[in-house]
């Protein structure tokens, strides 16, 4: 085999693999669009019962055809405090079982000379759906899913064609056979190869497809294929660990639990390697791809049935692998910022990843509330040093809100530019409006602080009555901010009446203060400098309140049109 022949095989194989990965992405995204909001709701209601967690992980992964999407979403839920570590471990166990559905689809439909026979009719049927029912939005995700499945079969057919013919290249078979001749060390070598290739491709489904094709074409025997599959189960855990790299301690532990579960499963399987090999070869003596698919299922089901009884021990282990970092997870008063819930890794989970953005927005709101709580400290500051310290903190928070706005806008714009469902697009638009108003709240808080600073520098002093009026306005805005913060927790159940009541109270107080202010100016109660600073402050508080109600209105208006 010369260099030109090797290059030709690599190019054909890479092209076929690209089509396969694109097909997996399309199929997964179509399913997520059809079931995304329901999947989020199901995962958000998981109880502490391990069985419910396993079944949830199994169903969700089987439906959306992506264990990576499920595990990354689980990490996000743990990070946001919506899912316990024990519940997350149970869901991950179920997700490992759910991912075996892809292997069965490939084995039953994607292997053999007729593997592409279903592709054309499926593709034509889907195109018909688009042209005949363009106004029925609910059918579009279904059409995308079917197109993804059709392309997946095309990709499998192309991968099969890209596989080298052993009669033309006998040295290739000899090379693989030489790697298989070291007994137990050959098994460990193929486990390592499976792990590294899955980390590289970032898709255990793609690696499973390649493994099945190699078996079908006689390149791999059952024993070495099993070792590759075990390695793939370890390699796939890299996805959740990438997602948790910038997350909090609880999320890191959930990701490590995924790794521990699969590594322990591999170790147990290695101990029972020969009995398991004999069993599957007895069931499918002449069909290696079916034998490997059966092993893949037995591996994940067996590990779950075994390790579900040891969830407390897995929790104990991961808690020591990722010790509690003192103060690391206390984000409320931190004046530094990095994305806490959104993965910077190469993982894209389409609709389901919007949960991460929602959690990030909740953190944004908490930062704004803490920034607002610093305003009273400006008035109470006795010395110039104390005042300047508080002022610097407010300015630092304002820069932080600018960065949060920029990072979230960039992320949501990228998500919105993708292939989202109408519901998903509406959620993105709502979130963009929310973060724009949160950033404006931060600007308003800084403006209030700057008026306080100018007042202090100009030696302008308010009477006790004016201070009391501003304290009343401060308290009303604070209440509005708390209502807004609560509404960001669950978009389906917001207190819009409470938000409007808080806004009316702020406006009424502003009107009262403005009336008194005009009367005081006419009566000469205080001079221009005092009046200018005073009116600027209550006007800024009222303007801040406008941005606050905009947040709740954004949620409420979109809630009336789609299920958030």
Q: Contact at 8 Å (CB) between 412 and 429?
A: no
| HSE-CB of 472 using CA atoms within 13 angstroms | 14
Q: Contact at 8 Å (CB) between 447 and 377?
A: no
Q: How does the average pLDDT of the chain come out, rounded? A: 80
Q: For residues 257 and 404, state if they share a domain.
A: no
Average pLDDT over residues 425-429: 85
- The tens digit of pLDDT for each residue in 351-363 reads 556 777 888 898 8
Q: For residues 293 and 158, state if they share a domain.
A: yes
Tell me which of 321, 336, 361 is where a domain ends.
321
pLDDT at residue 345 in the model = 46
Structure tokens belonging to residue 260 = 């521990």
The percent of residues in the chain predicted with pLDDT above 70, rounded, is 74
- The tally of domains found in the chain comes to 2
| HSE-CB of 490 using CA atoms within 13 angstroms | 8
CA–CA gap between residue 168 and residue 158 (Å, rounded) = 19
Most confident residue range from 82-86, 248-252, 301-305: 301-305
CA dihedral 541, 543, 549, 551 (to 10 degrees): -110
Most confident residue range from 152-156, 213-217, 342-346: 213-217
**Sequence-separated (6 or more) residues with CB below 8 Å from residue 441:** 368, 372, 401, 481, 544, 547, 548
Q: For residues 475 and 418, state if they share a domain.
A: yes
Whether residue 143 lies inside any domain: the answer is: yes
Q: For residues 277 and 360, state if they share a domain.
A: no
Of 19-28, 339-348, 525-534, the least confident? 339-348
pLDDT of residue 430 exceeding 80, the answer is yes
489 CA to centre of own chain: 16
Structure tokens belonging to residue 381 = 């500051």
Q: For residues 264 and 394, state if they share a domain.
A: no
Whether residue 170 lies inside any domain: the answer is: yes
Whether residue 30 lies inside any domain: the answer is: yes
Structure tokens belonging to residue 546 = 């406008």
Q: For residues 391 and 251, state if they share a domain.
A: no
Q: For residues 75 and 180, state if they share a domain.
A: yes
- Element containing residue 529 per DSSP (H, E): helix 528-559
- The DSSP secondary-structure symbol of 332 reads T
CA–CA gap between residue 31 and residue 26 (Å, rounded) = 9
Phi-psi map region of 83: left, alpha, beta (phi>0 left; psi -120 to 50 alpha): beta
- The tens digit of pLDDT for each residue in 101-123 reads 878 877 877 665 555 555 555 55
Average pLDDT over residues 238-245: 69
Q: For residues 293 and 422, state if they share a domain.
A: no
CA–CA gap between residue 156 and residue 171 (Å, rounded) = 25
pLDDT of residue 480 exceeding 80, the answer is yes
Greater confidence, 287 or 206? 287
Instruction: Domain of residue 547: give its range.
Output: 350-559
Whether residue 534 lies inside any domain: the answer is: yes
N residues, the chain: 564
Whether residue 127 lies inside any domain: the answer is: yes
CA–CA gap between residue 97 and residue 94 (Å, rounded) = 5
- Element containing residue 386 per DSSP (H, E): helix 384-416
504 CA to centre of own chain: 37
pLDDT of residue 322 exceeding 70, the answer is yes
pLDDT of residue 179 exceeding 80, the answer is no
Whether residue 109 lies inside any domain: the answer is: yes
CA–CA gap between residue 107 and residue 109 (Å, rounded) = 6
Name the band, by pLDDT with cuts 50, 70 and 90, for residue 423. confident
**Sequence-separated (6 or more) residues with CB below 8 Å from residue 397:** 335, 367, 370, 371, 374, 442, 445
E strands present in 197-277 = none
Q: For residues 159 and 251, state if they share a domain.
A: yes
SS3 of residue 498 by DSSP: helix
SS3 of residue 83 by DSSP: coil
């Amino acid at each position: 085999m010369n260099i030109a022949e090797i290059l030709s095989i690599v190019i054909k194989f890479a092209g076929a693999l690209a089509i396969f990965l694109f097909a997996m992405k399309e199929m997964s995204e179509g399913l997520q669009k059809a079931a995304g909001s329901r999947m989020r709701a199901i995962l958000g209601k998981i109880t502490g019962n391990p069985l419910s967690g396993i079944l949830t992980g199994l169903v969700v992964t089987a439906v959306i055809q992506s264990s990576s999407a499920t595990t990354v979403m689980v990490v996000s839920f743990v990070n946001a405090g919506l899912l316990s570590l024990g519940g997350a471990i149970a869901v991950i166990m179920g997700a490992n079982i759910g991912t075996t559905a892809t292997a069965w689809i490939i084995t039953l439909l994607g292997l053999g000379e007729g593997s592409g026979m279903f592709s054309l009719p499926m593709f034509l049927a889907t195109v018909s759906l688009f042209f005949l029912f363009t106004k029925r939005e609910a059918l579009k995700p279904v059409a995308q899913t079917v197109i993804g499945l059709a392309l997946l079969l095309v990709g499998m057919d192309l991968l099969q064609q890209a596989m080298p013919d052993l009669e033309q290249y006998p040295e290739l078979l000899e090379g693989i056979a030489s790697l298989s001749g070291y007994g137990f060390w050959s098994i460990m070598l193929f486990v390592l190869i499976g792990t590294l290739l899955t980390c590289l491709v970032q898709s255990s489904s793609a690696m499973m497809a390649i493994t099945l094709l190699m078996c079908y074409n006689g390149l791999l025997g059952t024993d070495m294929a099993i070792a590759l599959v075990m390695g793939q189960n370890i390699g796939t855990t890299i996805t959740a660990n990438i997602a948790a790299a910038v997350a909090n301690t609880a999320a890191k532990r959930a990701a490590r639990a995924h790794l521990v579960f699969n590594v322990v499963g591999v170790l147990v399987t290695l101990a029972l390697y020969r009995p398991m090999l004999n069993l599957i070869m007895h069931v499918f003596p002449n069909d290696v791809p079916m034998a490997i698919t059966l092993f893949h299922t037995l591996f994940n089901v067996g590990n779950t049935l075994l390790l579900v009884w040891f969830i407390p021990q897995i929790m104990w282990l991961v808690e020591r692998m990722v010790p509690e970092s003192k103060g690391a997870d206390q984000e409320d008063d931190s004046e530094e910022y990095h994305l806490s819930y959104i993965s910077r890794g190469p993982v894209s989970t389409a609709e389901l990843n919007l949960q991460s953005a929602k959690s990030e927005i909740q953190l944004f709101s908490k930062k704004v509330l803490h920034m607002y709580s610093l305003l009273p400290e400006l008035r109470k500051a006795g010395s110039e040093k104390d005042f300047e310290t508080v002022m610097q903190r407010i300015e630092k928070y304002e820069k932080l809100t600018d960065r949060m706005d920029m990072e979230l806008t960039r992320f949501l714009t990228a998500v919105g530019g993708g292939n989202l469902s109408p519901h998903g697009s509406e959620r993105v638009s709502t979130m963009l409006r929310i973060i724009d108003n949160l950033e404006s709240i931060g600007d308003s808080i800084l403006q209030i602080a700057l008026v306080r600073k100018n007042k202090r520098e100009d030696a302008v002093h308010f009477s006790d009555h004016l201070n009391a009026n501003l304290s009343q306005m401060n308290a009303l805005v604070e209440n509005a901010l708390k209502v807004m913060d609560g509404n960001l927790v669950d978009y389906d159940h917001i207190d819009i009446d409470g938000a409007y009541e808080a806004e009316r109270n702020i406006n009424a107080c502003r009107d009262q203060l403005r009336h008194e202010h005009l009367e005081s100016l006419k009566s000469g109660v205080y001079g221009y400098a005092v009046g200018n600073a005073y009116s600027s402050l209550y006007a800024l508080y009222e303007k801040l309140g406008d941005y606050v109600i905009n947040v709740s209105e954004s949620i409420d208006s979109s809630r009336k049109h789609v299920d958030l």
